[in-house]
């Protein structure tokens, strides 16, 4: 179903399919559908919404910070677990390290799950203010705002005592206020007026930590995470008397709001009716959906086993239906007297480009049923 890519070229390094994914390695969980996205770099296409957005964010930083922010946009997405987790203080037992959440190439190598994976190395190399843009990879749920490959932009800004001393403020408060001011300014630059709110949250690498949400299609949509960098990260990189802020923007989420794009799968579409609507440097464009094709709903129920996870189920569905699956939703769950738990999922099939036939959908669903039984150790009902 997917184009089988045998090798990709990342920064001049060729990675062969068989070197990366060894079928005999149980710690490798990168399927073809994901492998084929490596090296596509949507963020470097000037006429693609992700590239247009990236350039607009660059403009904001260039004009407000006198070009102090250095830009990195082709660091390899294949990183060590040290870069992705240890260097940003993700605890050894944190869920994000599991095979259920992250794509592993081998036990020490992952497809980065965030651009924060590059903070420490760039600091050690002496960079103090920078933006890192790139594709990131996560095993995740399936709906209109989640996709297993998406793009982030990391921002990082180090301050010295002279910066906060004259403000009379404590260094952490100074950085937190500067961070919020910077991101609110960015939101105004991109959207003009838009309804937004700050939510307190937790990240292992920042304290305090915040998320910014934007009101979109009658709901709050989380578009970024940020905070004041943990001192340990700065000290590990030889910075003793500094404070810093960092953020990680979800570029698809921002682009959905900016261009009114209703479904995250569209970013990967080659359909001219999508690609031809965007022009280099043009932020004001509102996407005109080509007529919406009808959805097709299929339910599947099974008794789960202890090892069952929703991410594994979603990966099976995605592996079979690719971008023809729009959403996977748990609609019923119960445990019987014997202690067996049943789940019922509703799968929404819909193409963004054409009408699906009944046969086609039935065929997909029957493959899903077979594969779920074979791979996930569940009992179909």
Do 195 and 213 touch, CB atoms closer than 8 A? Answer: no
Q: Which of 127, 138, 318, 343 binds ligand FA5 (CB under 6 A)?
A: 138
Q: For the packed helices 49-64 and 251-259, what is the interaxial angle rounded to 10 degrees?
A: 100
**134 belongs to the binding site for ligand FA5 (CB under 6 A):** no
Residue position matching structure tokens 């964010």:
57
| Candidates 25-33, 62-70, 139-147, 371-379; binding stretch for ligand FA5 (CB under 6 A) | 139-147
Which lies closer to ligand FA5 via its Cβ, residue 250 or residue 361? 250
| Cβ-based nearer residue to ligand FA5, 87 or 154 | 154
Task: Candidates 140, 177, 353, 371: give the one binding ligand FA5 (CB under 6 A).
Answer: 140
Which of these segments, 142-150, 315-323, 339-347, 372-380, binds ligand FA5 (CB under 6 A)?
A: 142-150
Distance CA 53, CA 158 (A): 24
Least gap, CB of 123 to ligand FA5 (angstroms) = 13
Q: Which residue, 140 or 353, has its beta carbon nearer to ligand FA5?
A: 140
SS (H, E, C) the chain: CCCCCCEEEECCEEEEHHHHCCCCCCCCCCCHHHHCCCCCCHHHCCCCHHHHHHHHHHHHHHHHCCCCCEEECCCCCEEEHHHHCHHHCCCCCCHHHCCCCCCEEECCEEECCCHHHHHHHHHHCCCCEEEEEEEEECCCCCECCECCEEEEEEEEEEECHHHHHCCCCCHHHHHHHHHHHHHHHHHHHHHCCCCEEEEEEEECCEEEEEEEEEEECCEEEEEEEEEEECHHHHHHCCCCCCEEEEEEEEHHHHHHHHHCCCCHHHHHCCCHHHHCCCCCCCCCCCCCCCCCCCCEEEEEEEECCCCCCHHHHHHHHHHHHHHHEEEEEEEEEEECCCCCEEEEEEEEECCCCCCCCHHHHHHHHHHHHHHHHHHHCCEEC
In the complex with ligand FA5, the residue whose CB is nearer, 199 or 331, is 199
Question: Cβ closer to ligand FA5: 15 or 132?
Answer: 132
Q: In the bound complex, what is the minimum distance in angstroms from residue 236's beta carbon to ligand FA5?
A: 16
Beta carbon of residue 277, minimum distance to ligand FA5 (angstroms, whole number): 21
Q: Among residues 245 and 274, whose Cβ is nearest to ligand FA5?
A: 245
Output the six-digit token pair for 252.
Answer: 């698809």
Which 147-176 positions form the footprint of ligand FA5 (CB under 6 A)? 147, 150, 152, 154
196 binds ligand FA5 (CB under 6 A): no
Spell out the residues 6+ positions from residue 299 whose beta carbon is closer than 8 angstroms to its own.
Answer: 331, 344, 345, 346, 347
Write out the binding residues for ligand FA5, residues 208-267 only, by CB under 6 A.
222-227, 246-248, 250, 252-253
Q: Which residue is nearest to ligand FA5 (CB)?
A: 250
Least distance (Å) between residue 156 CB and ligand FA5: 8
Q: How far is the CB of 359 from ligand FA5 (least distance, A)?
A: 31
Q: Does 114 bind ligand FA5 (CB under 6 A)?
A: yes
- Which of these ranges, 33-41, 66-74, 198-206, 357-365, lies near ligand FA5 under the rule CB under 6 A? 198-206
Minimum distance, C-beta of residue 292 to ligand FA5, in the bound complex (Å): 21
Nearer to ligand FA5, 87 or 302 (CB): 87
Closest distance to ligand FA5 from the beta carbon of 12 (Å): 27
State the number of binding residues for ligand FA5 (CB under 6 A).
Answer: 24
Please give the residue ranges that form the binding site for ligand FA5 (CB under 6 A). 114, 116, 138, 140, 146-147, 150, 152, 154, 203, 205-206, 222-227, 246-248, 250, 252-253
């Amino acid at each position: 179903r997917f184009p089988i890519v045998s090798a990709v070229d990342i920064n001049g390094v060729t990675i062969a399919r068989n070197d990366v994914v060894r079928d005999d390695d149980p710690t490798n969980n990168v399927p073809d559908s994901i492998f084929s996205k490596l090296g596509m770099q949507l963020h470097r296409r000037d006429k693609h919404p992700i590239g247009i957005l990236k350039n607009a964010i660059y403009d904001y930083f260039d004009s407000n910070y006198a070009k102090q922010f250095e830009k990195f946009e082709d660091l390899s997405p294949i990183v060590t677990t040290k870069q992705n987790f240890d260097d940003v203080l993700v605890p050894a037992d944190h869920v994000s390290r599991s095979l259920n959440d992250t794509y592993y190439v081998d036990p020490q190598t992952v497809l980065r799950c965030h651009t924060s994976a590059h903070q420490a190395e760039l600091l050690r190399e002496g960079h103090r203010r920078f933006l890192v843009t790139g594709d990131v990879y996560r095993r995740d749920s399936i709906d209109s705002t989640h996709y297993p490959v998406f793009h982030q932009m990391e921002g990082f800004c180090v301050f010295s005592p002279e910066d906060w001393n004259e403000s009379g403020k404590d260094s952490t408060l100074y950085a937190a206020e500067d961070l919020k001011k910077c991101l609110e300014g960015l939101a105004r630059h991109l959207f003009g007026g838009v309804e937004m709110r700050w939510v307190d949250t937790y990240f292992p690498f920042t304290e305090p930590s915040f998320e910014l949400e934007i009101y979109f299609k009658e709901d709050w949509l989380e578009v970024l995470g940020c905070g004041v960098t943990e001192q340990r990260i700065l000290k590990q990189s030889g910075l003793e008397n500094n404070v810093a802020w960092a953020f990680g923007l979800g570029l698809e989420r921002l682009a959905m709001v900016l261009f009114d794009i209703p479904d995250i799968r569209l970013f990967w579409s080659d359909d001219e009716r999508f690609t031809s609507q965007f022009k280099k440097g043009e932020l004001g464009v509102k996407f005109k959906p080509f007529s919406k094709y009808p959805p097709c709903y299929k339910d599947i129920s099974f008794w789960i086993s202890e090892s069952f996870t929703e991410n594994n189920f979603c990966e099976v569905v995605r592996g079979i239906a690719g971008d023809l699956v729009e959403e996977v939703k748990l609609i019923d769950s119960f445990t019987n007297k014997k202690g067996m738990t049943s789940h019922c999922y509703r799968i929404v099939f819909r193409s963004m480009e054409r009408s699906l036939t009944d046969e086609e959908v039935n065929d997909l669903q029957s493959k899903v049923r077979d594969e779920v039984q074979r791979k996930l150790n569940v009992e179909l009902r």
